[in-house]
Every structure is written in structure tokens, then in C-alpha cells.
Amino acid sequence: MNIFDELKWRGLINQVSDEEKVREYLASPGATMYCGFDPTAESLHVGNLVPLLCLVRMKKAGHHPLYLMGGATGRIGDPSGKDKERDLSDPDLMEFRLEKIKGQVRRFVERNTGERPDIVNNYDWTKDLTAIELLRDVGKFFTVNWMLQKESVKGRIERDDVGISYTEFSYMILQSYDFYHLYKTRNCRLQIGGGDQWGNITTGCEYIRRRSAHEDEQAEAFALTFPLLTTASGKKFGKSEKGAIYLNAEVTSPYAFYQYFINTDDRDVIKFLKLFTFLDQEEIAAIEKDLEEAPHLRNAQKRLAEEVTRMIHGQHELDRVLSATEALFGKGDLKSVDSTTLRSALESAPNFRYAPGDVPDLPQMLVDLGLVKSKGQGRKDIKAGGVYINGERVEDGHEISDADFMAGELLVIRKGKKNYGLITRG
């Protein structure tokens, strides 16, 4: 299957400048394409998975994807999808973020292709460009009339309260120059991106056409965008109650990452399996049939969460997450779960911290965690056999000791089947 047709089946095609020509461009191995990632944060988020995965799919199809780091464009600010001007970030902070994102991209691509990604940085070919060169050699090919028709500009121009600076107005010119530079130096004729990038990408296509004609050449470049994702409930994809879901384990833990996907709505899960996994049509059709016959088992969600967590965090972290899930909600051994994953798994549960010498008795712990209203009620629950420490039922009269603290610092208390609390000390 032509990779274009696979992208179409997966629901990844939103807009394309010329479908037949793009399909032809991708028909034979060796085509070059790119997508840009501006360092607006220290980590990419799950929304960035769509273009990242698309570039990896291109690699698996025998093509040459380029991962463009926005070392220059990130200093300017993309007005696309923004209703007000961005604050300019400190250059050192931008560089720090860029290195973080490069590391994420490198790990992701190596894990899923076995090869190092081809990463380029637009600051390398932009930093020495003079103002005169930018105006004469690039700006000359853009009419303000045409630029004003772009959605990213039009929405801001029509609002007198915010407007748009010349800096952000010029963003599309810099992005177009990137496309032209990669066309000239890497024979890259396809740029991909989110649906909000359509105006920027097609501007680059037009710049390549116009400048090449000025240089007595005939050149054609193409644009392809992905749909902006929302869930069946109407929410923006990638947002949880605590905010965005990031790919950096230090920002969003592997356990929280896994839980985000395990909680996918039945109405979304097949779509997400197409978008975020490498499973083929036959495998996804079988999962869809299983979902129709036994939705209560949530096998589709489990497969989605496992595939995506493995893809981002690796098999080792996935095993940790599954061990914690089994220990908390199945029959696994809670003591075998590493403390970091356990803390993450119980992040939303009540927790209480004691100084090393101030650890009270178990009934008081139940009160401090809010699992009971009084020590007397706590004693009754313990006597009735309804209280567990680290997954094991507590006998009446049990006294808390150092041995109860896993890794010397954590103690998990459960009352009944689902009421958890986490005690820490130190």
C-alpha cells in the first residue's frame, strides 16, 4: 500500500495540496518530507504524536523524514491558533527546551525504527541571514494582500484589542524560507503538520514555486495536514483534569500516561488505535469486533494504552505500570512495585506524611487519610478485617513497624475494595 493511502485509511489526512501528485511523490521509496517542532515547552505532548508517528511511518515506508527543530522560528512565535501575541522567550531557555525536545525525538525514533533520526535546526541557516537578504530574497515574493488572507493573520487583524505584531506577521515568511532551504539542500518537496499549519505550509509551497520561476526553474512542493483531534465528548484530545499529557516522564509519569489512554471512550478507541499505533487493518478489525462483542472487558483500551506507552516509554516502564495496575486492582504483589510508579499510581489518593519519629498507630493513620471519621471507627474496621497494609489484610492489634514501610518510606493502606491512602515518612 502507498503510504499516502495508509495515512488516509488511518484518518490522518485533513488537507492536501494535490492528492494525486502527493500520492505519486510517495509511490517510490526515497522521498523527503519534514515537520517542524518549535520549542515552546520543555516537552512534546501527545498531540505531537500524530506528526512524530507520521514521520516514523514514512521512514518505515522507505522515505527520508526530516525532524526540524525551530531554533529560529521558536524565537519569533507562530500566530496560528493563537488569539493574542506570545511573550518572547529567553534565548537560553529556548535552547534548553530545544535540547530536551531533540532528546525526546531521538529516543522515540530510535525505539520505533532502530535508526537515528535526521534532525535539522532552522537556526543554522537563519542566524546569518541579514535583514536586507530577508527582505530582498524572501520578502519580495510575498504580497501583503495575500498574507492578510491567511487565517492565522486574519483572525488577529480583525481584533483591534490584540492585533498582530510585524514579528508574528512575518512568521510564515521564515517558515516558507525553511521549506525552500530544505528543497534546495535536501530535495524536500513535502511538508506535513497540524491542520492549523495549512496557511503556513501552503505559503511555503507558493514561495518555492515563485522563487524557482524567478530563477528560471520549475519546482513544485506539496502540503499535507492532519486533523485537529477532539474526543467524542467534544474535549480537546491530550488534555486531562490535571492539564496536558506530556511525553516527558518527569512531567507526566508513565503510569498517568497509561491511564490517560486506558480511559479512552469506546467511541474513540478504534480511531485512536489507527492514529497512534502501528497495528495494521486486520489487527484493528479484530479488536473492533471484540469491542462490539465484549465492550465491558475494555480489551481495545488495554491494547491502545500498552502500545502507546511502550512506544513512548519502552517495555521496561510498561512492565512497571502493568505491575502497579495488577497490584492495586488485581492480585499482584504490591511490594514488588517500585516506589516511583507506586507514588504516581496513588497520586490522586489521599496521602499523609509523617516525620520519622512521629509515626502514629494504624487507627490514627486511617483518620489522617480521611478514610474513617474517628479512631474508634478505624478500630472497628480493622477488627472486621476490612483494612489492608501493602495489599495484605491487617489483623486486629497490628502495630506499625519499620517492616511495614516499603523501601523504608512508603506504606499503602486500603479500606474495603477501592479506598486507598498513601503514608510516607522522612
Residue 104 lies in a domain: yes
Residues 6 or more apart whose Cβ sits within 8 Å of residue 79: 85, 152, 153, 156, 164, 168, 169, 171
Query: Is residue 278 located within the same domain as residue 136?
Result: no
The Cα-based distances of 58 to 15, 35, 245 in angstroms read: 18, 12, 25
Residue position matching grid coordinates 472497628:
380
Ramachandran assignment for 289, one of left (phi > 0), alpha (psi -120 to 50 degrees), beta (any other): alpha
The reply to whether 17 and 166 lie within a common domain is yes
Quick check: is 234 in a domain? no
The boundaries of the domain holding residue 136 are 3-226
Query: Whole-number mean pLDDT of the chain?
Result: 92
Let me know whether 407 and 319 are in one domain. no
What is the tens place of the pLDDT at every residue in 240-258? 777 889 999 999 999 999 9
The answer to whether residues 8 and 111 belong to one domain is: yes
Same domain membership, residue 63 and residue 209: yes
The residue type found at 318 is: L
- Say if residue 7 is in the same domain as residue 59: yes
Average pLDDT over residues 302-324: 95
- Domain assignment present for 73: yes
pTM check: above 0.85: yes
Q: How many domains is the chain partitioned into structurally?
A: 3
pLDDT for 201-230, tens place per residue? 999 999 999 999 998 888 999 999 999 898
Q: CB–CB of 102/44 below 8 Å?
A: no
C-alpha to C-alpha distances, 200 to 88, 151, 340, nearest whole angstrom: 20, 10, 42
The per-residue pLDDT for 16 is 98
- Asked whether residue 333 falls in the same domain as residue 381, the answer is no
pLDDT tens digits, residue range 97-123? 999 999 999 999 999 999 999 999 999
Structural domain includes residue 232? no
pLDDT band of 336, cuts 50, 70, 90 = confident
* pLDDT given at position 347: 87
Note the pLDDT tens digit of each residue in 6-42. 999 999 999 999 999 999 999 999 999 999 999 988 9
Same domain membership, residue 289 and residue 211? no
The cell numbers describing 277, all together, are: 499505533
pLDDT digits (tens, 9 = 90+) for 127-169: 999 999 999 999 999 999 888 888 878 878 777 677 888 888 9
User: Has residue 84 got a pLDDT over 90?
Assistant: no
pLDDT at residue 63, rounded to an integer: 98
Residues 6+ apart with CB under 8 A from 247: 43, 44, 45, 46, 48, 49, 104, 108, 312
Residue % of the chain over a pLDDT of 70: 100
